[in-house]
Structure 1
Amino acid sequence: MENKLNIGVIFGGQSGEHEVSRVSAYNVLRVINQEKYNIVTIGITKKGKWYLYSGDHEKIKDGSWEQDSKNLIGDFSIFAHPEITKIDVFFPVLHGPMGEDGTIQGVFEMLNKPYIGCGVLSSAVGMDKVFSKIMFESVGIPTGNYRYFRKNDWKKDPEGKLEEMEKALGYPIFVKPANMGSSVGISKAHNREELIAAIEEAFIYDDKLIMEAFIKGREIECGVLDDGGMLCASIPGEVIPSKEFYDYEAKYSDTQDSKVVIPANISDEATEMIREYAVKAFEAIEGSGLSRVDFFLTEDGQILINEVNTLPGFTNISMYPKMWEATDICYSDLVDKIIASANRKRVTLP
């Protein structure tokens, strides 16, 4: 096929979600139509070193690509190397900080290259659990009760912060890094001792934390996709955690028996409201391309938004591709649509 697009798939990254990114990238590379696209793979190590990688995609999955020296090029300029300059569309399969937070999107903007997913602003807002909740509230999407503070606030008055959180939220309290995904660094505290430990754990990953009151409800997720310029919402799915909450291990470990139910067994009214809220949340952060939006459905039928994921997981067990498959878009077609929606907002100065 002539005039094939050159797609630059970037994987790995410096965040706590490095391993998830590798598995997601492996799955994307496994299904991407190589009759339509030429693929350039770019790996980023946990220490932030960039490599052009031309080896076996299986080695991306297990992390051994970094030892595949004969297929690595580490001495190159991202602005000048011919393998980079020929790329038509970047496909960052990166999760968490330094990949999903607007930083690498800014690099693509500097290169003046289209890229899949949200832009700099929407990526940054979507990654920050505090600012995203503020945006959701501004457009009338209900959220749960939450508070937040920074490391300096904690150092100045830890006792005061503990009392404030306990009074405002009550136990149990979810403690989360404000900028992290895949449930990395998240804990559920049932008392003050656990709350202190959870705060110290979360500060390993971020200098700003968000505290959320426990919500007794079902976990419902919904995909959003820009399909030919029209925003579409997938059939929602439900997550039934194998553990007390859907933490990193419950999400990704083969030894865990967390379940996903797609379509979610909820009323037609709840389904339509969740789909409507998902698109509304996507628009609130000025999203583009794709996102997965997560909700709680309480026993009394209240729908509360949890968060938006601007670059959701693409592993073989990830909810985003599974929900679209249930909405009659298979994995390979989904990748095609995501590439077609690549962010192409450009300003040409006179």
Structure 2
Amino acid sequence: MTSRASVVLVFGGRSSEHEISCLTASGVARTIDTDAFEVHPVGISRDGTWHRISLAQLQQLRARGRELPTVPADAEPVVLISKGDRVVLAGLVGGHLTDEVDIDVAMTMLHGPYGEDGTVQGQFEMLGIPYVGSGVAASAVGMDKHLMKVVLEASGLPVGPHEVIRDLDWVSDSEGCCERIVVALEFPLFVKPARGGSSLGISKVVAADQLPRAIEKARVHDPKVLVEQGFVGAREIECAVLGPLPGTITPRTSPCGEIVVNSQDGFYDFDAKYRPAANQVDLQVPARIPDSVSDTVRQLAARSFDVLGCEGLARVDTFVTASGEVFVNEVNTMPGFTELSMYPSLWQAAGMDYRDLITDLITQGLSRPNTAVR
């Protein structure tokens, strides 16, 4: 009998996307191939404590109406540590390790800061444990929407007009910041935390007098704020990317999908994503776009993946204008990953079901070079 690979599935976290991470991990837990993988769920509470919970507990974490799940606070505290050439997950009682389990690979379902931004990836690098997804640099740059646009633009990829407001800029001269934006960009604008996700803290702004309040709203989540010029009449087209197959170097790209928001303002905010009312949002997979546009989106998605140095997975979001121009909006190195999220849905359209997608990603992680010995 072939032994199963031991996977630590990390979720929750200290960011404002804690609940979304719980939803994502729960979906993975209900689907993962337990004949191939021995799963050890670890939930990170909002105070940063790592807790061991059972696979059955994780599978039960679901949205209840508008209430989203969190990591159980009464679960056993654990640590993930290196012991020679082993990495173990263990309880810690009275300074002694208990119930040690060897771990072969880590799979994080963490969204936002302290998980999607290269921090936990750095911890795995120091431990010398292989893991699923992008490394430290790609995760950090992908998380910072401003740095991401700088890197993409420097590599010749098309991005939209934007301005950044750093903390010291705003504190020292908020009026000057607003004046700079009004001169540089055209309304409507989208104001967002530079290092956030899931549409938290984002505002659509159609007039100059709305800017200060929108910037302050974004600053609740991140002192660094990005202001993007809106693409009037453009369509939001997304493409899922997977790392190359063994023996190849070209990232795999899915069919394209489109988010169609049916609300009056057409704004894909947090509630539209995770607390949608009936018929508020449609995910069209595949997107109803010409083949030539689809080809362009997929090519830009693969190039963006390579330029940022992504590994494992990413979802690349683009805007397609009425004239057919394509602009890269964002590269998400840890996209929404519930069974109904856009990323798995795109791969399902390509013939890869949710379970096979999870297996593919863990297999990629297991083959990751051990940077600790390089």
TM-score class normalised by the smaller sequence: over 0.9
| Residues 228 and 340 in structure 1, CA contact (< 8 A), matched pair in contact too | no
Ranges in structure 1 where 5+ consecutive residues have no aligned partner:
none
Counterparts of 1:138-217 in structure 2 under 5 Å?
138-216=154-232, 217=234
TM-superposed deviation, 1:285: 0.5
User: Retained in 2: the 8 A contact 1:133–1:143?
Assistant: yes
Distance in 2 (CA, whole Å) between partners of 1:246 and 1:267 is 24
Residue 236 in 1 paired to residue 256 in 2? yes
1:191-340 aligned within 5 A: 191-216=207-232, 217-229=234-246, 230=248, 231-243=251-263, 244=265, 245-256=267-278, 257-340=280-363
C-alpha contact (below 8 Å) 1:290/1:338 kept by paired residues? yes
Q: Report the AA paired with residue 200 of structure 1.
A: E
Count of aligned pairs? 347
For the pair 1:102 / 2:118, whether they are aligned, the reply is yes
CA distance in 2, matches of 1:127, 1:232: 22
Separation in 2, partners of 1:270, 1:84: 52
Match of 1:130 among 146, 153, 158: 146
For 1:78 and 1:14, the matched residues in 2 are separated by: 20
Partner of 2:22: 22
Query: For the aligned residues, what is the CA RMSD?
Result: 1.8
Cα distance in 2, alignment partners of residues 348 and 252 from structure 1: 38
The answer on whether the counterparts of 2:118 and 2:139 sit within 8 Å (CA) in structure 1 is yes
* Percent identity (aligned): 39
Quote the offset at 1:335 in angstroms.
0.4
Mapped to 2, the partners of 1:239 and 1:94 lie a distance apart of: 23
State the Cα deviation string for residues 109-135 of structure 1 (Å, max 9, x = none).
111000000000000011110111111
TM superposition shift of 1:194: 1.8
1:193 Cα deviation from its structure 2 partner: 2.9
Structure 1 position 322, deviation (Å) = 0.1
SS in 1 for 2:57: coil
2-structure distance, mates of 1:19, 1:242: 25
Tell me the secondary structure at the aligned position of residue 72 of structure 2: helix
Inter-partner Cα distance in structure 1 for 2:372 and 2:185: 49
Instruction: Decide whether aligned partners of structure 1 residues 132 and 94 sit closer, same or farther in structure 2, where only a CA change above 3 A counts.
Output: same
The alpha-carbon deviation at position 254 of structure 1 amounts to 3.6
Residues 347/19 of structure 1: CA separation in 2 closer, same or farther (3 Å cut):
closer
Structure 2 unaligned regions, length at least 5 = 64-68, 83-87, 91-98
Query: Tell me, what secondary structure is at the counterpart of 1:164?
Result: helix
Deviation at 1:76, TM superposition (A): 4.1
Q: Using the alignment, how far apart are the partners of 2:5 and 2:341 within structure 1?
A: 26
* AA in 2 matched with 1:44: I
User: Counterpart amino acid of 1:226?
Assistant: G
Contact 2:27–2:59 under 8 Å retained in 1 = no
Q: Deviations 1:30-71 (Å, cap 9, x if unpaired)?
A: 11010111010000112211111125224433536515x4xx
